[in-house]
Amino acid sequence: MAVIVRTERILEDGSTATERVYRGFGPPTAKVIQHAERLDKHLSEELPRIAARLKARGLLKGRRGNRERWYELGKYLQEIVEDPKYVLPEDRRQDQHIWIAIAQNAPKELHPGMEVLGAKNIPTKRNHFRLCYQLGRLPKDIVQQHTWREWVEILESPAIIDDERIVAWIIKKMGSNKRIELRPLARGIRQQLKGIYTAALSDEELTELLDEVLHEVTSFD
C-alpha cells in the first residue's frame, strides 16, 4: 500500500508549491491510491480530535509534564496506527512513510514545543510521533519512573527497539529495580550489541548479553 506525504517544490519564479506524493513499495494502483486518500482524510480529521482531547484533559498546557503528554498521545496514536481499516500491516512496515504522514497532518499543538517547521519530515526512529507511539505501548507505571528525555534514549535506538525481546527485558528489569538509570543502560546495550544481528540470537544468548550490561551499569550503585 501507499501513504501520502507532502513535499515542497521550487517553481521557476522562486515560489514553492506543495505536492502530494504516494510513497510505497511500487507504482500506486487505483486501489492503492484510493486507500491512501482514505487514510490521508482520516489523519486530517482524527489528529485535530486527538489534540482537542489532550487539551480537554489539561495535557497541552505549557511544557511541563511532557512525559504524560506524549504517553497519552501515543495511546491515541495506537487507535490510528493499529486500526486495519486505515493502516495495514505493510503500511506500518513502511515506517518512515506513515510517521511522516502523521507528522504532516498533526496540528502544531502535538509537535514538541510547537516547533513544527523542519519537524514534519523527520524519518523513522527519530520521528516524534513514532516515539510517542512506542512510549504509549509500554506499561504506564514503568513509563512514570523516568523522564521523556530518558525514554527517548531507548526509543531512538534501532539496536534496542527493533528487537521486542530487548524492550521486554528492559521492562521486566525496571519492574524489579526502580533504581535503574535508562541513559547508561541504553548506552551500554548499544555498545554491547554493536555489530550483532540480534534476531540470530536465542532468547538465552540475548538475555546473557543484556544481563552483562545491567551488571556493568549497576555495579557502582
In sequence order, which residues have a C-beta less than 8 Å from that of residue 124 and are 6 or more positions away?
A: 95, 96, 99, 130
Minimum mean pLDDT range among 18-22, 127-131, 204-208: 18-22
Mean pLDDT of 135-158: 93
What's the pLDDT score for residue 117? 47
For 24-61, write each residue's pLDDT tens digit.
777 788 988 898 899 999 999 999 999 999 999 999 88
Q: Are 11 and 17 in contact (CB under 8 A)?
A: yes
Residue 64 has pLDDT above 60, yes or no: no
What's the pLDDT score for residue 118? 52
190 versus 90: the higher-pLDDT residue is 190
For 65-82, write each residue's pLDDT tens digit.
589 999 999 999 999 999
Q: Are 113 and 132 in contact (CB under 8 A)?
A: no
Minimum mean pLDDT range among 29-43, 88-102, 143-157: 88-102
Residue 114 has pLDDT above 70, yes or no: no
Of 70, 72, 92, 90, nearest to 81 (Cα)? 92
What's the pLDDT score for residue 63? 62
Q: Are 24 and 34 in contact (CB under 8 A)?
A: no
Q: Show the CA angle centred on residue 58, arms to residues 56 and 59, nearest 5°.
A: 110
**How far, in Å, CA of 54 to CA of 83, rounded?**
20
**How far, in Å, CA of 92 to CA of 86, rounded?**
11
Domain ranges within the chain, ordered by starting residue? 2-137, 158-221
Q: What is the pTM of this model?
A: 0.87
What's the pLDDT score for residue 43? 96
**How far, in Å, CA of 160 to CA of 153, rounded?**
10
